[in-house]
Amino acid sequence: MTWRERTDFWSEHVTSYQGRMDYGYPPTDDFRAGIICQRTDIYQLSMFWSDTIKYARTASQVRHDPGEDYRFLLPVAGELVLRQGDQEVRLTPGAGCFLTFAAPFEMLQDASLRALIMSIPAREVNTRLNRSSPLTAGLDLTSGLGRVVGDMLTGLHEERDTLTGGRFDAVSDRLVELLCMLAAGDDRPTAPGHLDEVEAVVRRYIREHAADPDMTGTTMAQALGWSLRQVQLALHHAGTTPRELIGEERLRLVRDRLRAPVYRHMTITELAYASGFSSASALSTAFRRRFGISPREMRHAGPQPM
């Protein structure tokens, strides 16, 4: 196959998956590329790689081949540059972004690029973010919620041969929810549905880390990849605060441990420290205020529910 045949095949191949674009190939004697795709009627996830190339979607192509759906791009090797409107984003492994096909753009990649690209219906993004989004600045997928999202995305690709279409869509639904949480910054409106999602994730995180004595609203927000303001807003919507929720979960943890035979060897002081409290007296005061009896009295009462 000649260079022209290979590049023509690649252009047609990518167009069939992604929509009409222009392709700029360097003047070389060879061109190599590949793509692995999994898709249903709702979502599509592809791993692609190629030699250096420039993709461009023009205003004319947007008019004649409308495509409002989003693409989420995540390099796993190499680098790519995206330009849309007056924004430019340079992506390397660990950074991803949303790209809309409803507006012109340019994408330049080097020959070392290997990246995941997920096609997402526009309604799934616009409804959650309460807006129509052009190119979104690079999202950090190296820690907190971002790392969870990145692991889910790569895992979804790696397990493509073991997932049914229904399971692929179910995982994709949850993945898009988390991506939108990650993309929702302080300068963007927060829809009620998003507040509920934030609250659910925050509650789960606090429950799982209640015993950490260093956990605060700030450290918890950082671990999840959100701002403290977002977390406070979501919990205020639910009638509580980070401090109150952390305290409540620690008290529940102590109560459950007081009733469990496996913790009977621990003193009240040891239970206090092991459950995130600064002292036995701090535990006793908060515990009596919450449950009406002291930790020692609950332990002696046995496993009966309150």
CA distances from 68 to 120, 123, 181, 182, 239 (A): 9, 9, 20, 21, 37
pLDDT at 302 (0 to 100): 62
Describe the crossing of helices 242-259 and 228-237 by its angle, rounded to 10 degrees.
70
The structural domains of the chain, with segments of one domain joined by +, span: 3-183, 188-306
pLDDT tens per residue across span 27-41 = 777 888 999 999 998
Dihedral angle computed from the Cα positions of residues 39, 169, 194 and 221, in that order, rounded to the nearest 10 degrees: -90
| Bridge partner residues of 28 (DSSP) | none
CATH ID of 3-183, from 3.10.20.440, 3.40.50.300, 3.40.50.10860, 2.60.120.280: 2.60.120.280
* pLDDT given for residue 66 in this prediction: 81
pLDDT at res. 306: 39
Task: Say whether 19 sits in a helix, a strand or coil.
Answer: coil
Question: What topology is assigned to 188-306 in CATH?
Answer: Arc Repressor Mutant, subunit A (1.10.10)
The overall longest dimension of the chain from CA atoms, in Å, is 84
Q: Is 183 exposed, middle or buried (0-12, 13-18, 19+ CB in 10 A)?
A: buried
Predicted local confidence at residue 258, as pLDDT: 92
Between the alpha carbon of residue 1 and those of residues 10, 33, 52, the distances in Å are 12, 13, 19
Strands (E), the chain: 22-24, 33-39, 44-50, 53-57, 70-77, 80-84, 87-91, 95-100, 105-109, 114-120, 139-140
Spans of the chain, pLDDT less than 70: 1, 128-137, 185-194, 302-306
* DSSP string for 108-127: EE-TT-EEEEEEE-HHHHHH
Q: Which residues contact 75 (CB under 8 A, 6 or more apart)?
A: 91, 92, 93, 95, 96, 113, 114, 115, 116
Q: Which pLDDT score is estimated for 108? A: 94
- 194-245 per-position pLDDT tens digit: 677 788 889 989 999 999 999 999 888 888 877 788 888 888 888 899 999 9
Contact 119, 71 (CB under 8 A): yes
Rounded Cα gap, residues 183 and 20, in angstroms:
27
CA distance 96 to 150: 9
